[in-house]
Every structure is written in C-alpha cells, then in structure tokens.
A and B are shown apart, each in its own frame.
Chain A
Amino acid sequence: EDKVVQSPLSLVVHEGDTVTLNCSYEVTNFRSLLWYKQEKKAPTFLFMLTSSGIEKKSGRLSSILDKKELFSILNITATQTGDSAVYLCAVGCNNNDMRFGAGTRLTVKP
C-alpha cells in the first residue's frame, strides 16, 4: 500500500536554529513530491520535486529529493517565529493519485 511518512511529527526550536524535516515514501509510479506549509486556511504550496539531487530553494527554505532512497528533506535555516506551521509532504503518482503525509508541526520560539 502506498504510504508517505513524515518525521518528526512535532518539533520545537528557537529562533535562528536550522531545522530539517523528513519525508519518506513508498509509492508505485512516482511522479513528483510536493511540500506545503499549513498556517491558516489551507496549505500553501512550497516546492515540487521530480528529479533526484537537484536542490530547490526559496529564501531560507530549500528541499531536495533522493529517488533512490525514496525520501526528501525540507531545510529551513535561521528560523523565525513566522515559520511556525505544519509542513506537509505529498507524493503524486503517474495515475494522478496522491498521498499526503501526516505533517510535521514546527514551533519556533522567540
């Protein structure tokens, strides 16, 4: 059965720390891996990864995919209180199916 596992489920850090969020997956016909940030009404799309080893970067956030080991990481450097949110990982398949992970709750304390 297809599954997406995120770790840790919950993480508390202080401002300025760097965090690494993990997402591992087991799916058939992998097409893409997506990261979202859930703050308010709906998750905000962050990155879509399709190729191994190519880092995607947006400000202090970056992500990379390893299709051989079936995982992705999301890095946040110099964290701020505004980074506090639930970060979701989702995997899309070639048959248009998708599977979401349970999310990682990040709390950044001042």
Chain B
Amino acid sequence: GAVVSQHPSWVICKSGTSVKIECRSLDFQATTMFWYRQFPKQSLMLMATSNEGSKATYEQGVEKDKFLINHASLTLSTLTVTSAHPEDSSFYICSAIQHLTGEQYFGPGTRLTVT
C-alpha cells in the first residue's frame, strides 16, 4: 500500500533556530501534499497546500515566512519552521495525494519541541 514517511519523527530545538521536517511519498508520485498542525483537544488544522513546482498555498492565519514549504519533487515536500519559538511546539502531520488515483495518505507525524 501507499506509504508516506516523515523525518524526523521527533525533534527538539532551541528558540531562535530553524528546523526542517521532510514528508516523502515512498512508492507513489504526489503532486499535492498537505501540512497540518495539531492543536489542543486533538483538533488538526490545515496549514498549507503544497503543489509540486509551485508556491504553497497557505491557510489564513499561517505565516508563510515562518513556515516555509518547499515541494521540489513529486515525492518530497519540506516544512521549515524558522526562528522557532516555544509556542511552535506541536505535532506536525503531512499527507500526500497520489497522483494517479487521487487518494490521500497520511504520514506518521513529527513532534517538534522548542525549548
């Protein structure tokens, strides 16, 4: 079955530093990938839609200069949290749309802790 991986699984960084999270579709091409963030009470918020070869589309309220998204190939999208602050600590999940079937698959998530 289709698999989406995220790397790293968890990361701890200091305030002010930047951290990059990778999302890969391992056995299919994904022209579209989504990035989500988990908030209290288990709710997940869509941050942005990442399309291969073009600029990401950010949801209202998400700072594009802080959460840099790059979708450089059909199998890889990256989310870089720049100048991280403790309030950025969260669980970030990506999903990928399989190009041929349109089906959506989720990655296992990345836990970011900013100290």
Contacts and interface: CB of A to CB of B under 8 A. Distances in A.
Interface string A52-96: 000000000000000000000000000000000010101000001
A99 B63 CA distance: 26
A41 B105 contact: no
B115 to A, nearest CB: 14
Contacts of A9: 1-2
Interface stretch (B16-24, B40-48, B68-76, B77-85): B40-48
B4 A45 contact: no
B51 to A, nearest CB: 16
Contacts of B36: 42-43
Interface in A4-58: 4, 9-10, 34, 36, 38, 41-43, 45, 48
Interface size class of B (residues with CB under 8 A): 20 to 34
B15 to A, nearest CB: 19
A9 B2 CA distance: 9
A41 B108 contact: no
B30 interface: no
Contacts of A38: 95, 104, 106
A102 B1 contact: yes
Interface of B: 1-4, 9-10, 36, 38, 41-46, 59, 91, 93, 95, 103-109, 111
